[in-house]
Amino acid sequence: MVDRFPMELVAPDIAPHVGNTGIPYVTTLRAAVSGPHIVLAALIHGNEICGAIALDHLLRHGIAPARGALTFAFCNVEAYRRFDPERPNASRYLDEDMNRLWDRATLDGPRRSTELRRARALRPVFDNADYLLDLHSMQYGGAPLILAGIVDKSVELARRIRAPGVIVRDHGHAAGPRLRDYDAFADPASPRAALLVECGQHWEESAADVATVTAYRFLAACGALTPEASRKALEITAPPQRVIEVTEAITVASDDFRFAAPYRGLEVIPRAGTEIARDGGRAVVTPYDDCVLVMPSQQLARGHTAVRLGRYAP
């Protein structure tokens, strides 16, 4: 049973953003003054349209870097072209999940797919990024999340943008590395850093607002805007961010995975040993008190991440 959500967003026409880089749907703007190269990425998942709305907004408003370079990348354009509001889950990808391909072995390897072809074409963009913001959305709404991976530099960058309010430190998925964990972004010795932001439920209006505001804040925090514009972008009245340390991802191991309750994410389960799901015959239980459920999935196929477990950092 897959929950249905109202379609509040309209997928923008990205034809005007075919770009100037030779890589389709990638636009790079350069300032006269040197500075970091910032990449804003949308549509790694073809049906997560809030990121496309944010990039379309910035491009139409002529947002350009005051220092360095700024690249706008619409990633899985082929899947996005198939986006149908009547069947919005069908265009997440065509052949495979584009956010599980990001290691050298896979990108340099012999395997072929629609998504791998595009990932290989986009690779130079990410190889040349000092800072990457990868905009996504979630199956369920609730608080937006910054997925910072496990390296400290990403958590520090997440704190510099000051919102959204929940920072998740996690290892990603058994099925393959995410773009945010690609190469130097996951290397503690490199200053280059990436954040993935889950802006809200895929189709809710607030997801597009969060994506757009977060993109401005990211540009400000990474030094692409003038000091005055940065100060304005980073003004905030929200409470301080909290960090969830993810300790494990529960990967579906059977053809019959069921949650014990209709979890939506960020539930705190008070007692260790509480059964939260059954995977085949096996009980999935919380490993410690006050366990936080992060991004429970509706797509409970074998090998996919069902939910991540973590706890709030003190």
Tokens 């990932």 found at:
119
- Contact flags string 136-155 toward Zn ion, x per CB under 5 A: x-------------------
Q: Which two tokens stand for residue 293?
A: 């459920």
Within 10 angstroms of residue 299's Cβ, the number of other Cβ atoms is 12
Stretch that binds Zn ion, among 11-19, 46-54, 69-77, 168-176 (CB under 5 A): 46-54
Q: 93 vs 257, which CB is nearer to Zn ion?
A: 93
Q: 59 vs 197, which CB is nearer to Zn ion?
A: 197
Residue 202 lies near Zn ion (rule: CB under 5 A): no
- Contact flags string 100-139 toward Zn ion, x per CB under 5 A: ------------------------------------x---
Provide, rounded to whole angstroms, the least separation between the CB of residue 196 and Zn ion: 8
CA 10, 16, 20, 23: dihedral to nearest 10 degrees? 50
Provide, rounded to whole angstroms, the least separation between the CB of residue 295 and Zn ion: 10
Q: How many whole angstroms separate alpha carbon 110 and alpha carbon 90?
A: 26
Residue whose C-beta lies closest to Zn ion: 136
First-to-last C-alpha distance (Å) of the chain: 37
Whether 221 and 161 have beta carbons less than 8 Å apart is answered as yes
Number of chain positions touching Zn ion (CB under 5 A) = 3
- How long, in residues, is the chain? 314
Q: Which two tokens stand for residue 191?
A: 């200053």
Q: 77 vs 220, which CB is nearer to Zn ion?
A: 77
Chosen residue from 17, 37, 45, 67 binding Zn ion by CB under 5 A = 45
- Could you write out the DSSP letters of every residue in 44-66? SSTT-THHHHHHHHHHHTT---S
Stretch that binds Zn ion, among 38-46, 49-57, 238-246, 251-259 (CB under 5 A): 38-46
99-125 exposure pattern, b = at least 16 Cβ within 10 A, e = fewer: bbbbeeeebeeeeeeebbebbeebbeb
Provide, rounded to whole angstroms, the least separation between the CB of residue 165 and Zn ion: 19
The helix or strand, by DSSP H or E, that contains position 278, with its residue range, turns out to be: strand 275-279
Q: How many whole angstroms separate alpha carbon 136 and alpha carbon 145?
A: 10
- Contact flags string 221-260 toward Zn ion, x per CB under 5 A: ----------------------------------------
* Residues lying near Zn ion in the complex (CB under 5 A): 45, 48, 136
